[in-house]
Structure 1
Amino acid sequence: MATAIAFVGAGPTTIYTLNQLIDSLGNFTGRPDANISIFEAQSQPGLGTPYRPGWNDPAMLSNIASVEIPPLAETLIDWLGRQDDDRLRALGIDPSGVDERTFYPRLALGRFFLDQFTQLVERARAKGIDVNVRARTKVVDIEAVGDGLKLTVASARLPRSEEWFDYVVLATGHQWPEEPEVRPGYYLSPWPASALQRIAATKVGLRGSSLTAIDAVVALAVAHGQFEGHEGEALTYRSKADGDALQLTMMSRKGLLPEADFYHPIPYTPLAICTQAAVIHLIEDGEGDILHRAYALFRQELEEADPDYATGIALADLTLEQFSDRYFGERADVDPFEWAQANLAEARRNFAKEITVPWRYAILRMHEVMALIVPHLEEDELERFDRFLKPIFVDDYATVPHLSIERLIALHRAGILDVKALGENYRIDSHGADRGAHVLIDGEDHHYPVFIEATGQRPLDVDAFPFPTMIEQDIVQNAADTQGCSVKGIAIDEGYHPVSDDPVTHRLYCLSLPFILGRHPFVQGITSSHEMGLVVGAELAAAIATRASRTAVRPDQQAGASI
């Protein structure tokens, strides 16, 4: 009997998992006896929410350089090289500016992934795997039945149905409301970007100052004006006739802008001290005090990587809290746009000369290793990690394209954009009689007729899990309830299986970002999709091969067989 596999969602995570599954079956002799169904609620499978038209504005940039995108059938650069100049321009790409270190529009990445998805489906079918791609079809529930999983499937064209599978991969991606304006003038997210087009030129507040907020700011700016500039000149912004009233304010606790993408070697240079093995050892040795000891490794690695930086900030004497203050302190004392201008100039010089700032690169390389401690922290340790160490890692790896910084500076120069520090004593009230929200900072009231929550995807608890029967059967459970940790999200193991006593859980994989962010706080999109896909794709291929070997019957064992 064929192995039946369902993918719920058809974005990059499914694409990379399917790619690894096919690659892992490369040495399989004979025809892989498998049926794969890919369910996608949207009309076009293969794009992914962060790269889908309508959901994203054409002006929005991805925050991953092409050299960092793991290849599929081809690299992004190779794919771009196959496109003619007219198509590149239609995707918002200057044909003369194609480079492996360049950041491209989100919609361009969507077309790349769509093309790769199509090729993967063709590859799978060529190997004899039956692949059924189901667009405009939503999985509304999942139930464990015996040693399999029953999916309840809804489609606009067909009656609701029930279908059975041996394995199910949940890759539903980001979870946002289809209509972001949940109260008059108050937007729970900046997506879909098409909803921002209806916002009139007015005073707009945005909570957030990283790429999510930048996406919203750029979408609003191009709706009411345009960026202008030639190579070698400073970018400028000009409002349309009805855009003069547009006033944008980005807000965050510290009131800082993200820094510009910095040059560094790819793939990463191995760590010397704060290695994965070292962090796993301190987790497993039973001595406790995990955060303190992990921070000691972090500090030693930083001292080894950049002695001048370590000496300059007296790193050896700094507690975690003091290092956090020192890391952000210098920027906090400077106007954010002045800092952005200077940082952008530095980043451009370093790219031109291929210079790496050692301390920045060391922090970048350590963030995934340090994430290993998160599920093992006591509640007070997790609070300290989230408040003092996590923001440093996020600031370091979530640098943004140089063009994004240029746009922010241009908007500020045009008198359109400002940045405000919320501090620790603030409150946002969106439930009053006025449109938008009132932001109260140290007792001072600021009213914004339009207010947009733009802090990005947050971890979600089990209550928001979209398949209720999985919760009722105790297959999907809160991590805090079952794993003795304080992280948000559902309990999963290292193989991305839900943690439960039900044996069916080894047939279910949860790769849905909002529900694993608590355990994996630095899941970052494409590279994480690739890493998860390597694990799950290989497991699925092994399951197909194992079932095939168990059911294979030699011709001399077949009673009365004829060939």
Structure 2
Amino acid sequence: MTKSVAFVGAGPTTLYALHALLSRGAGAAQITVFEASQTAGCGSPYSSDWNDRAMLSNIASIEIPPLRETLADWLATRTTPELEAMDVDRASLDERTFVPRIALGRYFESQFAIMVDQARAAGLNIEVRTGCRVIDAANRNEGLELTFMSPPSQRVTKAVFDHVVLATGHQWPSRQQTQPGYLLSPWPASVLAHISATNVGIRGSSLTAIDTAVALATSHGAFVQRDEQLVYQPGPDTEGFRITMMSRKGLLPEADFYFPLPHPPLAYCTPQAVAAAMDRGRVGLLDAVFDLFRRELIDLDPDYAAETGLQDATLETFAEAYFARRAAVDPFVWAVANLEEARANHAAKVTVAWRDAILRMHEVVAAIVPHLDTEQFDRFNRAFKPIFVDIYAGVPHESIERMLALHAAGKLEVLALGDDYEVDAHCPEGGARLTVEGATRHFPVFIEATGQAALSGIQFPFLSLLEQGIVRDEVANDAPDVVRGIAVDDSFRPVNAPLPIDRLFCLSLPFLMGRHPFAQGITSSHEMGGIVGRRLALILDTAKPAVDLAETAA
């Protein structure tokens, strides 16, 4: 009997899941892919519908798990007009080049189309339904029923599938602007082009905030190269245009640093050592793993360990020491020195040991998050997570150049909010009022640009799955208000759900971030999509017996 499989969402996570499935053979399965937008493969983070041409991705070809071809190889075969349309300079291309988000999106679209064509040529029955929005999902006796709106009439249709993978990707507020001048997110970026040359507040100082600032800047001026230096040239009648980026620490992200790939193995903070710590139980788990982290850093970079007092540090005191030097320096002064260091290290292929060690450890340490009690979970989010995010969220050198150019032109400042501040988004004049330590400033335009937040089950887009008790939050008894993501197992299947095993897989990133705190990038899409794709390949191959879950997830 032919089995049917549906993927809801056609972004990178589905792309990698399909790649894993098709690489192992899908038998005679009927595969349907639903995608609300008009194109399949790219997802909203890399879509031309959502992003401005000036927005840069922060992952290079060398870091992207390959599909049919690498990003660098694909770009090398594009025509000059194609590259120009994506704002890509052929002369600068190599495996470590950062390209605009829309270029990465076009690459994923191409890889998706090639993969589907090859699967069809091999006899697989696969249907891709773009412009088709799934509005509900419900468990039935015969399978998982999807309700969707089909183009062009948007007629509501239902269909039942044996296996369904929900990979709906990022989820932003349905209304971008809740009142004049106050935006809950910068997406879609096309809205930013219509903002007047005024005083703009941006909450956030990471790549999302930088992208927002760049999109605003290019609508009111231009970045130009002058005497080997990037400068910002304001347009006419833009004297009132100013941007204030703000965050709790008031720090700019650091420039992308050089590291070798593949990464060398860790010595102390290994997956095996972390697993052993988890086996000993929850009590003291976070501190036990921090000790592994500490030993790794001391071994790899004793000078940095001595400078930060790591030998005698607690998690909290190290977190403070980690950011202390940057917090004591003007963020733009720090950015100049950091950019110079990063460029020199890339040119000489020099790796800063402590940075690389923390980068290598972030996914290993993340394995403990589902096992932390409420107190430890809170400590992880306050002290440990920001360190890892700061390292892996390094930004393209050009992004730092643009921030420096805006600042030099008098168009950008970065503000440290601390913990004692308030944003009033209900002021009658529009925008928002910011109050910090008793002082109040009004921004006619205020944009929330802190990136995708972890979401709770109540915000899950398919109501019937909530009502049927299939999708539910993973809740700690002593802290029911803490968002820890929906309850799924290591193969991303709902836990203790009233439906057959393997019928439903949940890969909707915002609802997994409580359990998988770093699950936002392409490498996470590859890892999670691969787990589900391999599982589907096993259960669709009726010639093979079912395997143990632990083996499947390995």
Q: TM-score range by the shorter chain?
A: over 0.9
Which SS does the other structure have where 2:518 is aligned?
coil
Q: Which stretch of structure 1 is more off in the superposition, 263-272 or 253-262?
A: 263-272
Following TM superposition, by how much is the alpha carbon of 1:483 offset from its aligned partner in structure 2, in angstroms? 12
CA separation of 1:141 and 1:167: change in aligned 2, threshold 3 A: same
Residue 93 of structure 1 corresponds to: 88
In structure 2, how many angstroms separate the alpha carbons of the residues matched to 1:533 and 1:278? 26
Which SS does the other structure have where 1:479 is aligned?
coil
Following TM superposition, by how much is the alpha carbon of 1:506 offset from its aligned partner in structure 2, in angstroms? 2.4
8 A Cα contact 1:3 1:547, kept in partner: no
Residue 108 of structure 1 corresponds to: 103
Residue 555 of structure 1 corresponds to: none
Output the amino acid matched with 2:411.
I
Q: Deviations over 1:339-371 (max 9, x none)?
A: 000000000000010000000001111111111
Q: Which stretch of structure 1 is more off in the superposition, 374-383 or 103-112?
A: 374-383
Q: Unmatched 5+ residue regions in structure 2?
A: 547-554
Residue 553 of structure 1 corresponds to: none
In structure 1, how many angstroms separate the alpha carbons of the residues matched to 2:261 and 2:400? 23
Q: Deviations over 1:30-66 (max 9, x none)?
A: xx21111110111122221011113100000001011
Which of 196, 212, 216 does residue 212 from structure 2 map onto? 216
Which of 354, 357, 364 does residue 359 from structure 1 map onto? 354
Q: Unmatched 5+ residue regions in structure 1?
A: 551-563
> What is the CA RMSD across the aligned residues, in angstroms?
1.7
Q: Which stretch of structure 1 is more off in the superposition, 417-426 or 376-385?
A: 376-385
Residue 164 of structure 1 corresponds to: 160
In structure 2, how many angstroms separate the alpha carbons of the residues matched to 1:154 and 1:90? 32
1:330 partnered with 2:289: no
In structure 2, how many angstroms separate the alpha carbons of the residues matched to 1:214 and 1:455? 10
CA separation of 1:460 and 1:77: change in aligned 2, threshold 3 A: same
Following TM superposition, by how much is the alpha carbon of 1:287 offset from its aligned partner in structure 2, in angstroms? 6.3
Residue 390 of structure 1 corresponds to: 385
Equivalent positions of 1:477-496 (< 5 A) are 477-480=472-475, 486-496=482-492
8 A Cα contact 1:144 1:504, kept in partner: no
Which of 309, 312, 319 does residue 317 from structure 1 map onto? 312
Residue 2 of structure 1 corresponds to: 2
Q: Deviations over 1:489-521 (max 9, x none)?
A: 211111011112423352111111100000000
Output the amino acid matched with 2:334.
W
8 A Cα contact 2:509 2:520, kept in partner: no
Q: Deviations over 1:271-330 (max 9, x none)?
A: 110111111111112262111111111101110111111122221111111111111001
In structure 2, how many angstroms separate the alpha carbons of the residues matched to 1:179 and 1:404? 28
Output the amino acid matched with 1:529.
S
Output the amino acid matched with 1:122.
D
In structure 1, how many angstroms separate the alpha carbons of the residues matched to 2:303 and 2:54? 40
In structure 2, how many angstroms separate the alpha carbons of the residues matched to 1:197 and 1:482? 46
Q: Which stretch of structure 1 is more off in the superposition, 74-83 or 496-505?
A: 496-505
In structure 2, how many angstroms separate the alpha carbons of the residues matched to 1:251 and 1:504? 48
Output the amino acid matched with 1:165.
F
Output the amino acid matched with 2:85.
A
Following TM superposition, by how much is the alpha carbon of 1:86 offset from its aligned partner in structure 2, in angstroms? 2.3
Output the amino acid matched with 1:396.
I
1:529 partnered with 2:525: yes
In structure 2, how many angstroms separate the alpha carbons of the residues matched to 1:487 and 1:354? 41
Q: Which stretch of structure 1 is more off in the superposition, 399-408 or 537-546?
A: 537-546
CA separation of 1:157 and 1:374: change in aligned 2, threshold 3 A: same
8 A Cα contact 1:66 1:101, kept in partner: yes
- TM-score normalised by L of structure 1: 0.94
Which of 255, 258, 281 does residue 263 from structure 1 map onto? 258
Residue-pair matches, total: 544
Residue 408 of structure 1 corresponds to: 403
Q: Deviations over 1:205-260 (max 9, x none)?
A: 01000000001000000000000005x71110011113221100000001000000
Which SS does the other structure have where 2:21 is aligned?
helix
Q: Deviations over 1:185-205 (max 9, x none)?
A: 100001100011110010000
Output the amino acid matched with 1:441.
V
1:11 partnered with 2:31: no
8 A Cα contact 2:200 2:444, kept in partner: yes
In structure 2, how many angstroms separate the alpha carbons of the residues matched to 1:484 and 1:146? 35
In structure 2, how many angstroms separate the alpha carbons of the residues matched to 1:412 and 1:2? 61
Following TM superposition, by how much is the alpha carbon of 1:178 offset from its aligned partner in structure 2, in angstroms? 5.0
Which of 117, 123, 141 does residue 122 from structure 1 map onto? 117
In structure 2, how many angstroms separate the alpha carbons of the residues matched to 1:366 and 1:70? 19
